[in-house]
């Protein structure tokens, strides 16, 4: 059976981050956003539908916002 390679799932994960690389006391590294989209090269290329999910456990630092544009309120 031939494999189809014309559909690709793209996953983008953003996690908490702090200036200096280490979390402050009481914080932990955590995923704050998971994004999904699909690419269909067979149909002349183009992105398919997109979706995002947000975690609610961690605080988003100003440093992290400067890198990802995500804020605590999204």
pLDDT in tens, 6-63: 788 889 898 889 998 888 888 888 888 888 888 877 766 677 777 787 767 778 889 9
| 22 token code pair | 């280490």
Q: What is the pLDDT of residue 66?
A: 93
d(CA 34, CA 65): 16
Tell me which H or E stretch contains 50.
strand 47-54
């Amino acid at each position: 059976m031939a494999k189809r390679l014309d559909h690709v799932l793209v996953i983008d994960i953003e996690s908490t981050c702090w200036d200096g690389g280490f979390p402050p006391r009481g914080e932990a590294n955590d995923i704050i956003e998971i994004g999904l989209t699909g690419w269909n090269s067979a149909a002349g290329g183009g992105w398919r539908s997109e979706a995002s999910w947000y975690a609610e456990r961690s605080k988003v630092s100003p440093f992290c916002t400067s890198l990802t544009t995500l804020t605590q309120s999204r």
